[in-house]
Structure 1
Amino acid sequence: MELTLNNYFVYLSKLDRLWQKKTELSCYAVFLVLIIFWCRIKWNRRFIDRFAAKLPGPQSYPLIGSGLEFTGTLQQIMEKLIQLTEKFGSEPFKVWLGSSLAVILSNPEDLEIIFNSSKAFEKDQIYNFLIDILGEGLGTAPVNKWKQHRKIITPIFNTSFINQLLPIFNKKTSIFIRNLQKELGKTETFDIFDYIISSSIDTICETSMGYNCNTLSDDKYVFSNAIKDGTKVICSRMCKPWLYPNFIFNIYAKITGWHQIHKKCHELPDQIIKKKKIEYIQRKTFENKTVKNETKRLKVFLDILLELNDQGANFSDKDLKDQVLTMMTAGSETSALTISFCILMLAIHQDIQDKVYNEIYEVMGNGDQTLTIEDTVKFVYLEQCIKETIRLYPIFPIILRRAQENIKITNHIIPKGTTIVIPSIGTHHLSEFYPKPWEFNPENFDPENVAKRHKYSFIGFSGGPRNCIGMKYAMLSMKVTLSTFLRNYSVHTGCKMSDIKLKFEVLMKSVYGYPVTIRPRVRTPSYQLKLKKKNL
């Protein structure tokens, strides 16, 4: 019995040693695999690492990269971005987004190369975070899809099409002016953005989708608030590399109510598309009987897309929805923010407001005649004010591309796979192009001054083949809104330039809104008013 037990313990001892050896060998094998895997990653990234070593940039750490630089409030994130662009100026610098390298380019010569290089047409992977809200519209689609859809959609946005939308712009702006009357006589400031965003959504729905939102005010505010909440969540993810993995973000999404936000973002577009498709089918069914009325009917963006689909454009229901979402978001909030910033600038700078009004008066006089396309062309100084607003406060403070191949810029070769960050907020404030870059000076866009600068020193509508398709639409709508507003009201504020604080919510916004007061406009040129007061 004793011998048997000894044999048993010897057997267990041998088994234990064998198990230890196997475990040890397994650990060595795992360690070896990790070493090989790490070496392979380093080999594949050797060009990126060499390139990164040549560039200055903020401190980075394993796994999170430079993520600690962009923690804090949305205002602090924006301030940090501005600080970095001011520190490095027009020189390229690096930021690590987790383990991914991003090179930040502000030099217009570099931007011209990037914007026009087919090797950099691809939007960065971070734009995938926007797809849940915007879908794969022109702003977020991968290159192959973007090329196909851009080729189809670009002809729609011709001058003739945009000009025919002027009656809608005039109608919606008139409603906006009437709604503002409730603010007359008040000494307390109000946020002009609240009125403008409502008007912008009404306008974009009717001009792009032929859909009147006036009777759906609850729906449009639900949509607007959902987009606002959604961009906050996306912004948090963009600035925190640890939220990049989907399985981590899914936990974060449950905490933030992301799925409910997503649902609300899609309800109104779904409603619009469903209604328009029914109308389109009905028109096709009876087109022979209604041909005379059909020629008089205004065809808007979605109408033309549905017609092109019948002709073989092959837009799926999802494609239609993606383009609608892109138009509704890019065509409403971006213009509304720029108009709000511009009105605030004119309220702060009364002398510039007077000059703008004098131009409007010279074109329109003191009557109530309807604004025409010819009138808008004559608003040269107003356009300078709009562009200066976009320069000072670019709504898209950063644009992200991805290098699909090695790209040679002025002093470097950007390796394939590098994220390219183009901070318009940085380029627009380079002192070599804009003396006193944080002052509001419409003379920056006087033709003589524009001719002296590099073409890509102003990138308010992006640049190159993948620029903003709706810039002519945006400029016309902003001219109509601002000129009509200034014909009817003078705008005032106690706010100073130093009081304006900015925040990053994918779009750039004012932390404290756009506080102004309004007074009825005396339709007399400001120089005549000043002369009259002087004589009195």
Structure 2
Amino acid sequence: MSGNPVASLLPTKLAPTSTFSVLMSCTIVLLFVSLLMYKWRRRRLEKLASLMPGPPALPILGNGLEFMGSPEDVMGKIISISSSYESPFRVWIGPLLIVVLKNPEDIQIVLNSSKTLGKDPLYRFFRNTVGTGLFSAPVEKWKKNRKAITPAFNNRLLENFVPVFNEQNKYLIQKLSKHVDKGTFELFDYISAATLDIICQTALGIDVKAQDNPNCEFAQALYRASELDYMRIYKFWLHTDLIFYNTGYGKELSKIYKQLHEMPNLVIKKRKDEYYQRKQRQRLIDEGKMKKPEEEEPKRMRIFLDILLELKDSGTTFTDDDLRDEVVTMMVGGSETSALTNCFCLLLLAMHPEIQDKVYNEVYSIFGDSDREVTWDDLNRLVYLEQVLKETLRRFAVGPIFLREVKEDIDLTRYTIPGGCTIALCPIALHMRSDIYPEPEKFDPDRFLPENIAKRHKYSFIPFSGGPRGCIGSKYAMYSMKTTVSTILRNYTLQTDVKMEDIKLKVDLLMRSSIGYPVTIKPRIRKPIPIPA
């Protein structure tokens, strides 16, 4: 037997197969055990999720396939699902549990709880664009920086920005003049350029002249970065950096990040050098080592970056990257949001001439037929216009969803939301609840009369989020938008063929009209307009 050559070879030939089988078996067992452990750790999360209503979900994929498609498809699905289920309801994006809220009582709990103070981990996709400014910062960094910045972001600073609002809107009026009595044109291209010029001038102290340059690289980079960052949230298979940055989208985004940060970095370095040179000169003057100039330097407008430099100089631990992140956050958060709201507002006014007339009469009561610039006091007197802007934000909340991370179980009015999931606060659904806003499809600024506001829950209107982590720039946005809309109405009458039902929506980082904002303009005859009783 021992001399049989075939028998002697058999163990040698079978050994690799046996080893492979053992390895495969071990791998399968390990995967099975890992899956069991994963399910065991998530047992409470899945049990609590099973108690909530929501669309049927596939294994592994969850409801992820429902959010595939164009930005219009995604927005349509969000609106459809939001209107189909009572709050709260659950959605699965792959293994991620998202609990959607459109109930003001629950929203108040979430926005004011320390358990949900952190932005969701999905916001990490925005950090390459805006870094870790107030919008996307981890909780501890946000607490420190918000505490430092908030006192400086006051009415005195905002009043200081009004001349910039006037300057850029005056130029906007000139740009629009070529469309007077010339038929329909797209409003967004003009409004977004003006808004970007305003935010760059008030945040960084530079005029990027976007209104003169339709192909402004910085403006295009801002828009495309928002689009690509938000896309990753819905396409969960692109959540892993290794996969995403080896796709065409990822490679494009890497180039865009460089474009976005190059200009702010250069401006911050220059402004910082100037700041410390002025401080050094003043120190030498105070010590008698340098003569005070006979003529005082022209007074410079105080900008957001100056505040950050002063805070850094006074002992805060801001790094140069922190300065850039906060400035870019303000630019991203303050340009597109205001531009879109202005465009929705002006389109709605063109659709509702009777409301446009009421706004104009308020504007005329303040300015008459003069061409004088808007003042801080004027902005505070534009009460009806503010109602119109708020109703615009109710009807078309440009930030349609806010995401919060749930660190540990949190009790809402009817359910316990498990730690480890994501809460989605959904203004686009909350603001369209007919029990809170009767005839929600109707555009009615009187909803925001003081007596009507008093009848509603405080958290039934959250276009700027709310609670301690609400938008720090909401007042800035309102004053800037009031200036733009009132200036345009002082000069032009707006008309459009668009009806409310024609407006289709799409979403990237923000919500937009997929049909644009088509209007026609005519010269404004400056006299009061009789309003039928």
Would the TM-score normalized by the shorter structure come out above 0.5? Answer: yes
Q: Distance in 1 between matches of 2:80 and 2:296?
A: 58
Q: Distance in 1 between matches of 2:383 and 2:116?
A: 34
Tell me what 2:316 maps to: 313
Alpha carbons of structure 1 residues 295 and 405: separation in structure 2 relative to 1, 3 Å: farther
Tell me what 1:75 maps to: 72
Give per-residue Cα distances to partners, 1:318-347, cap 9 Å, x unaligned. 111111111111111110110010000000
> How far apart are 1:20 and its partner, in Å?
5.1
Within a 5 Å distance, the mapping from 1:10-159 to structure 2 comes to: 10-16=7-13, 21-89=18-86, 91-159=87-155
Is 1:358 the counterpart of 2:361? The answer is: yes
Is 1:160 the counterpart of 2:160? The answer is: no
8 Å Cα contact 1:58-1:95 kept in structure 2 = yes
Is 1:300 the counterpart of 2:303? The answer is: yes
Tell me what 1:244 maps to: 239
Give per-residue Cα distances to partners, 1:76-110, cap 9 Å, x unaligned. 11011011111114x21111111111111110000
Of 105-114 and 315-324, more deviation after overlay is shown by: 315-324
What are structure 2's unaligned runs of at least 5 residues? 286-291
Is 1:177 the counterpart of 2:173? The answer is: yes
Q: Matched residues, percent identical?
A: 45
Tell me what 2:277 maps to: 282
Give per-residue Cα distances to partners, 1:56-80, cap 9 Å, x unaligned. 2223223322111111111111011
Q: Secondary structure at the match of 2:32?
A: helix
Q: Distance in 2 between matches of 1:253 and 1:318?
A: 27
8 Å Cα contact 1:201-1:220 kept in structure 2 = no
8 Å Cα contact 2:188-2:516 kept in structure 1 = yes
Q: Distance in 1 between matches of 2:126 and 2:275?
A: 30
Q: Distance in 1 between matches of 2:296 and 2:72?
A: 53
What are structure 1's unaligned runs of at least 5 residues? 532-536
Matched residue type, 2:230: C
> How far apart are 1:467 and its partner, in Å?
0.2
Q: Which has the higher helix share?
A: 1
8 Å Cα contact 1:213-1:220 kept in structure 2 = no
> How far apart are 1:271 and its partner, in Å?
2.8
8 Å Cα contact 2:111-2:466 kept in structure 1 = yes
> How far apart are 1:18 and its partner, in Å?
5.4
8 Å Cα contact 1:433-1:453 kept in structure 2 = yes
Matched residue type, 2:278: R
Q: Secondary structure at the match of 2:59?
A: coil
Give per-residue Cα distances to partners, 1:6-40, cap 9 Å, x unaligned. 1x433332345555554444344333322321221
Q: Secondary structure at the match of 2:105?
A: helix
Q: Distance in 2 between matches of 1:221 and 1:95?
A: 39
Is 1:492 the counterpart of 2:492? The answer is: no
8 Å Cα contact 1:487-1:523 kept in structure 2 = yes
> How far apart are 1:524 and its partner, in Å?
0.6
Q: Distance in 2 between matches of 1:240 and 1:215?
A: 32
8 Å Cα contact 1:384-1:443 kept in structure 2 = yes
> How far apart are 1:118 and its partner, in Å?
0.8
Is 1:397 the counterpart of 2:394? The answer is: no
8 Å Cα contact 1:400-1:420 kept in structure 2 = yes
Give per-residue Cα distances to partners, 1:461-484, cap 9 Å, x unaligned. 100000000011111111111111
Tell me what 2:477 maps to: 474
Q: Secondary structure at the match of 1:251?
A: coil
Q: Secondary structure at the match of 1:420?
A: strand
Q: Distance in 2 between matches of 1:290 and 1:209?
A: 27
Of 216-225 and 50-59, more deviation after overlay is shown by: 216-225
Q: Secondary structure at the match of 1:494?
A: coil
8 Å Cα contact 1:348-1:495 kept in structure 2 = yes
Q: Distance in 2 between matches of 1:333 and 1:468?
A: 14
8 Å Cα contact 2:82-2:429 kept in structure 1 = yes
Tell me what 2:289 maps to: none
Alpha carbons of structure 1 residues 421 and 293: separation in structure 2 relative to 1, 3 Å: farther
Of 518-527 and 17-26, more deviation after overlay is shown by: 17-26
8 Å Cα contact 1:156-1:301 kept in structure 2 = no
Is 1:208 the counterpart of 2:229? The answer is: no
Q: Secondary structure at the match of 1:460?
A: coil
Matched residue type, 1:29: C
Alpha carbons of structure 1 residues 185 and 17: separation in structure 2 relative to 1, 3 Å: closer
> How far apart are 1:272 and its partner, in Å?
2.1
Tell me what 1:455 maps to: 458
8 Å Cα contact 2:228-2:249 kept in structure 1 = no
Is 1:193 the counterpart of 2:196? The answer is: no
Alpha carbons of structure 1 residues 519 and 219: separation in structure 2 relative to 1, 3 Å: closer
Q: Secondary structure at the match of 1:202?
A: helix
Q: Distance in 1 between matches of 2:467 and 2:250?
A: 40
8 Å Cα contact 2:193-2:210 kept in structure 1 = no
Q: Distance in 1 between matches of 2:526 and 2:73?
A: 43
8 Å Cα contact 1:433-1:457 kept in structure 2 = yes
Q: Distance in 1 between matches of 2:293 and 2:347?
A: 48
Instruction: Give me the CA root mean square deviation.
Output: 2.1
Aligned residues between the structures: 525
Within a 5 Å distance, the mapping from 1:424-435 to structure 2 comes to: 424-435=427-438
> How far apart are 1:219 and its partner, in Å?
9.8
Give per-residue Cα distances to partners, 1:183-225, cap 9 Å, x unaligned. 1121x21111111111111111111222222399559821111
Tell me what 1:511 maps to: 514
Tell me what 2:288 maps to: none
8 Å Cα contact 1:219-1:268 kept in structure 2 = no
Tell me what 2:525 maps to: 522
Tell me what 1:534 maps to: none
Q: Distance in 2 between matches of 1:210 and 1:63?
A: 49
> How far apart are 1:121 and its partner, in Å?
0.9
Matched residue type, 2:493: S
> How far apart are 1:420 and its partner, in Å?
0.6
Tell me what 1:410 maps to: 413
Give per-residue Cα distances to partners, 1:144-167, cap 9 Å, x unaligned. 111111111111111111112112
Q: Distance in 1 between matches of 2:239 and 2:266?
A: 32
> How far apart are 1:254 and its partner, in Å?
5.6
Q: Secondary structure at the match of 1:382?
A: helix
